[in-house]
Amino acid sequence: MFGPVSVILVGAGHRSEWYGKYALEHPDLMKVVGVADPNPIRREAFRKMFSFPEENCFHDAEELAKKGKIADAVINGTMDNLHVSTSVPLMKAGYDILLEKPFALSEEEMWNLYSVYKETGRKMMICHVLRYSPFYQAIHKEIKDGVLGEIVSIEASEYVSYNHMATCYVRGKWNSFKACQSGMLLAKSCHDLDIIMWLMSKAPKAISSFGSLYQFRPEKAPHGSGTRCMVDCPYVDTCDYSAKSMYIDHPERWRFYVWTELEGKENVTIEDKIALLKGNSPFGRCVYKCDNDVVDHQTISISFEDGTTASFNMISGTGKDERTIHIVGTKAEIYGSFEDGVYTLRTIDTRPGCECQCITKNPLEGLDTRGHGGGDQRLVEDFVKYVKGEKTTPSLTSLEDSVYGHQAVFLAEKSREGGNTQTFKQI
């Protein structure tokens, strides 16, 4: 294939926009030629941003699929519950797809999509963007180069900050299974389980899990608190989770989620935003008195066919977002923080008075770290190569590569709800 890969953005949200901007920075490699989204304001915004004709604006994926194949590929950034229903007709129409995670919301959906993927022979890449961060790429290379020997165990944790949790998973659109058909683990942490499967590179056998909604419940609310922070709550200026401190004092931090109702309004003022939070906006609610039902902490244990193990913890309400990982091998171990971008390689040192030798490494030094530690742009670059049939990196995650990580999520939820161990289906 010669020239730039032509793509259509399905779902005019911030993930599609971020991936699509690769075309603005690298017009010789990728070109955005259309959009599909039911929101006319966003369709027009994308049309102006990427300069394509109005005839290439579609209401949804179904309308696009009926048009036939008018581009090389699709970047599917729709909401989680639309990923399968939008991707199936597009694959059947001949499109290769870059699909945002999670690629399915249930085992049934997962195997349905996998069946169409095998049937059509289309290329489908899942946006497990953490694989493209220099941090995890460097750790993966250490393992593949044999520096750690055989992997014995992996321990990974994701700490979800108080403002991230409150905005997206308590007040926001991922706060309940009823609202988006996915739990906290699938919406937030399928990246982490994918990383575990990628680094282990072997078939998982069984999984067990425990977790609950502990903190963000009515009985945990301060005595005498109201239902809407800026309307009837005496703690509006002191509560860590106050909508005032989160969204008015920091109006840009979560703007893409909190201020969507103000889209299309010119010259938006801080008074407009205050009025929105005082009105019916879900982001103005007391964080302890919402309709959320997803867990705020969860622990998972996984065993693999060869007897090795892995564990994962998701814990919310922390001071900052952070991912940590500790890998123990037969020759060495690695401990690191994704947010810090640094990991330490530790090896046994048998010299008198010594226990271990430590080498600290910073794989991010001098690199572009915008978007998931620099992973977003590298992911799109690999997708372009994938569509063209060129050599890709070891980070590329085809649909097939992503099955075990997603299956781990579905089985962990079954285990958490049923209090028993679940067994993986092999592919």
Q: In what order do the strands lie in the sheet with 322-329?
A: 356-361, 342-348, 332-337, 322-329, 151-161, 309-318, 297-304, 204-212, 422-423
For the cut 70, the answer to whether the pLDDT of residue 143 exceeds it is yes
Looking at residue 367, its pLDDT comes to 52
φ and ψ at residue 414, rounded to 5 degrees: -65, -40
41 pLDDT band, cuts 50/70/90, is very high
Per DSSP, which regions of 102-161 are E strands? 124-126, 151-161
Among candidate residues 189, 191, 190, 184, the one with its CA nearest the CA of residue 135: 191
pLDDT at residue 181, rounded to an integer: 80
Residues facing residue 328 across a β-bridge: 153, 333
**Residue of 348 and 419 predicted with greater confidence:** 419
Average pLDDT over residues 24-39: 97
DSSP structural state of residue 144: H
Position 126: which residue type? I
By mean pLDDT, which of 55-64, 71-80, 147-156, 347-356 is the weakest? Answer: 347-356
How far is 214 from 204, CA to CA, in rounded Å?
A: 29
Of the candidate ranges 163-167, 181-185, 340-344, 363-367, the one whose mean pLDDT is the lowest: 363-367
More confident residue, 256 or 380: 380
Q: Is the pLDDT of residue 374 over 70?
A: no
Angle between helices 40-50 and 14-25 (to 10 degrees): 10
> From residue 210, how far is each of 41, 241, 313, 407 by CA, in Å?
43, 26, 10, 16
What b/e readout covers 51-67, taking b as 16+ CB neighbours within 10 angstroms?
ebeeebbbebbeebbee
pTM of the predicted model, to two decimals?
Answer: 0.89
Tokens read off for 356? 């271990």
pLDDT of residue 328: 97
Mean pLDDT of 262-283: 93
Say what the pLDDT of residue 180 is.
Answer: 80
CB 106 within 8 A of CB 410: yes
* Tokens standing for residue 250: 């920091």
CA distances from 232 to 227, 229, 277, 279 (A): 7, 6, 12, 12
Q: Which amino acid is at 105?
A: L
| pLDDT value of residue 366 | 54
The pLDDT, as a whole number, for residue 333 is: 95
What is the tens place of the pLDDT at every residue in 383-398?
A: 999 999 999 999 999 9
Please write the tens of the pLDDT for every residue from 62-76: 999 999 999 999 999
How many residues are recorded in the chain? 427
| Average pLDDT score over residue span 23-31 | 96
Average pLDDT, the chain: 93
Residue that has been written with the tokens 């949200």 in this structure = 13
pLDDT at 332 over 90: yes
The answer, yes or no, to whether the previous bond of 38 is cis (omega within 30 of 0) is no
Beta bridge partners of 158: 314, 323
Q: What span, in angstroms and rounded, lies between the C-alpha atoms of 427 and 425? A: 7
Q: Concatenated DSSP letters for 390-404?
A: ----TT--BHHHHHH
Tokens of 353: 């008075």
Given this model, what pLDDT does residue 194 score? 96
Give yes or no for residue 147 having a pLDDT over 90: yes
* pLDDT score at 368: 55
Kindly tell me the burial class for residue 150, based on how many C-beta atoms sit within 10 Å of its own C-beta (0-12, 13-18, 19 or more).
exposed
- From 171-180, 291-300, 355-364, the region with the lowest mean pLDDT: 355-364
